[in-house]
Amino acid sequence: MTSDLSFFALIRDAGPVVQAVMLILLLASLFSWAVMVQKRSMLNRASARAKQFEEKFWSGAELSSLHRDIHADTGRHSGLERVFAAGYQELERMRKHNMDADVVIAAAHRNMRVSSNRELERLEQHLNFLATVGSTSPYVGLFGTVWGIMSSFHALGSAQQATIAMVAPGISEALVATAMGLFAAIPAVIAYNRFSYQVDRLAVRYDNFSEEFIAILARQLHGQLQGHRQRPA
């Protein structure tokens, strides 16, 4: 008599505990793939929009015009555009109160930093789930394997004649749990490392833009202040 050792037959014939472990790993894998697809689209879009905005910004477009475009359709803009809008909006608000140039610059810089942190927090959302799946799935699968092997040897102990053919199906069923754990963990770890790298690159990009924008504001505001001082009474 031969046993059916196909993959689906091994899952079907596994014990209830091992099947529960396999179900958990399957759900974790499905959810992690959903996160990977969504996060890949989000990060690629954020990188592309940041590049487009930087090209528009350095092309010589007026700051007020850029801000009007962003303010007119806030739902469509994100990332670097919101960081710029936060700094420019604070600049305009402080100007209305005739604040000192250094105070205006510090306030705009602070507002841009807060906006940048919010954007990065949005981009990092659900990355911890990928890290959790990547780090725990092998151990969950190993638990199912150990449990299945224990059940196989327990059944073997009550048999009158022990042969390898009796325990081979049970051990094979148990090892499927380890394979599923690795199947869930490996893509999640790769994706987590890749996405974390992309978020870090965007964080550097946002910081560099903020520093460059603040430097431009500082030159303009101090230049205006110097002009007022040199103007004859």
Position 178 pLDDT exceeds 70: yes
Cα(174)–Cα(147) distance, rounded to whole angstroms?
Answer: 7
CB 84 within 8 A of CB 66: yes
Q: Where are the alpha helices (DSSP H) in the chain?
A: 7-13, 16-58, 63-72, 80-96, 101-124, 127-157, 164-230
Distance of CA 66 to the CA centre of its chain: 28
pLDDT, tens digit, 9 for 90 and up, residues 6-17: 656 666 767 788
Q: Give the start-to-end residue ranges of the domains of the chain.
A: 15-227
pLDDT, tens digit, 9 for 90 and up, residues 60-73: 777 777 777 777 66
pTM: 0.80
Give me the sign of the Cα torsion angle 185, 190, 193, 194.
Answer: negative
- For residue 199, what pLDDT band results from cuts at 50, 70 and 90? very high
Give me the sign of the Cα torsion angle 219, 54, 77, 207.
Answer: negative
Considering the chain, what percentage of its residues have pLDDT values greater than 70? 79
Amino acid, res. 158? S
The predicted model gives 200-214 an average pLDDT of 92
Neighbouring C-beta atoms of residue 71, cutoff 10 Å: 12
pLDDT, tens digit, 9 for 90 and up, residues 108-155: 889 999 999 999 999 999 999 999 999 999 999 998 888 888 877 776
